Amino acid sequence: MNMENLHPPRHLEINGVSRSFGGVPALNDISLSVAHGELICLAGHSGCGKSTLLRVIAGIEMPDQGRILLDGCGISGPNNYVEPEERNIGFMFQDYALFPHLNVLDNILFGLKRLTRPAAQARCLEIVERLGLEHLSRRFPHMLSGGEQQRVALARALAPQPQILLMDEPFSNLDRGLRDGIRTETISLLRELGTTVIMVTHDPEEALSAGDRVVLMRAGEIVQEGSGSDLYDRPANAYTAEFFSTFNKVQGACWNGFLETPLGRFAAPGFADGHTATLYVRPQCLRVNCGAEGVDCTVVDCALMGEIEQIQVSVAALPGPLKIRSAKRSRLRSGDVARISVTPEQVFVF
């Protein structure tokens, strides 16, 4: 039996990649594996290294150290380097980078120069039809809406049938009203085509909803990776928790495996006695009521936000107000006295 067949190479392997600019590290010992047909969301705040990692994968930037393999073959490393145009990796830029002097068809044909003219035209017409761009084929970029430009850029990136498609903030230039629909449509198409995708985003909701796997970065390093539910429900650290959600933060002291706070006592395994830690409570995990349970509070503000009501309350032992969000109407007003309690789910101690 061929043991290698039991463990075929991953589609893309990034091993110990680092990259610095002027002595400032942009990537620090990054390792990541991507499977065939997987959609990875690279998430993180601006400057964390997401776009640099894309550029290194594409071959636009050279890593200072580490290796990148595509289907087991090295494309970047100490002893080899494959030119960007030889990697068969598509790149969709944030600003779409359409050529203003070329119409839609010619923009798409630009990436098909390796094919014969008839083959390129056939492939171009195929992708135009697939993305429903026939009625736009003779228009120039300035004649297109943001959503239409996005689709043309996607068509140009997909036309050469790349092994991997890299997308750098592909939906950030779209109006909020269009973004969700176009993102859903685009991701559905990519899944249908079986395209392997690595998409950069700074939008937490987009990262959680779009990817098979989310890779969260900070300061050139991977902080945590997993499914969207892994990172949202089981954040490994405070950075991950705060990137994907809003929290009320309450400090306390640890004793006998519990964190003692003005909101109550919470499990804190692994913390030494006397250690100061912070309780992270999502606004939807606080309940406000006038019953006997809970902690006394005073309503500071109550605002209706459509489906959600947001209440701010003050607790005597805390320096600042707490935020509560609920789909239920409390009918409370500023100055009312109430009691709040914590729903233990989705509560973290860091």
- pLDDT band for position 348 (50/70/90)? very high
pLDDT recorded at residue 173: 85
Q: Calculate mean pLDDT across residues 287-314.
A: 88
**Are 129 and 272 part of one and the same domain?**
no
Domain's final residue, options 242, 261, 296: 242
Q: Calculate mean pLDDT across residues 261-285.
A: 94
**Are 156 and 44 part of one and the same domain?**
yes
Residue 207: closest CA among 30, 72, 16, 45: 45
Identify how many contiguous H helices and E strands the chain contains and give both numbers: 8, 20
pLDDT recorded at residue 4: 42
**Are 100 and 142 part of one and the same domain?**
yes
pTM assigned to the model: 0.89
- Span 158-217, pLDDT tens digits: 999 999 999 999 998 888 878 888 899 999 999 999 999 999 999 999 999 998 999 999
Print the domain residue range for 271: 246-349
Domain's final residue, options 178, 208, 242: 242
- pLDDT band for position 154 (50/70/90)? very high
Cα separations (Å) of 221 from 17, 26, 120, 331? 10, 9, 40, 46
Task: Give yes or no for a contact between 201 and 187, defined as CB atoms under 8 angstroms apart.
Answer: no
pLDDT recorded at residue 42: 97
Counting the structural domains of the chain, the total is: 2
**Are 340 and 251 part of one and the same domain?**
yes
Assign 320 to helix, strand or coil: coil
- Span 80-133, pLDDT tens digits: 899 999 999 999 988 888 999 999 999 999 989 888 999 999 999 999 999 999
The position carrying tokens 């909101």 is 263
Cα separations (Å) of 272 from 58, 77, 239, 253? 46, 44, 22, 9
Domain's final residue, options 242, 268, 297: 242
**Are 233 and 100 part of one and the same domain?**
yes
**Are 263 and 227 part of one and the same domain?**
no
Q: What CATH number does the domain containing 237 carry?
A: 3.40.50.300
Kindly give the pairing relationship between strand 65-70 and strand 39-43.
unpaired
In a domain, 2, yes or no: no
331: left (phi over 0), alpha (psi -120 to 50) or beta: left
Q: Is the pLDDT of residue 1 over 70?
A: no
pLDDT recorded at residue 9: 55
**Are 118 and 93 part of one and the same domain?**
yes
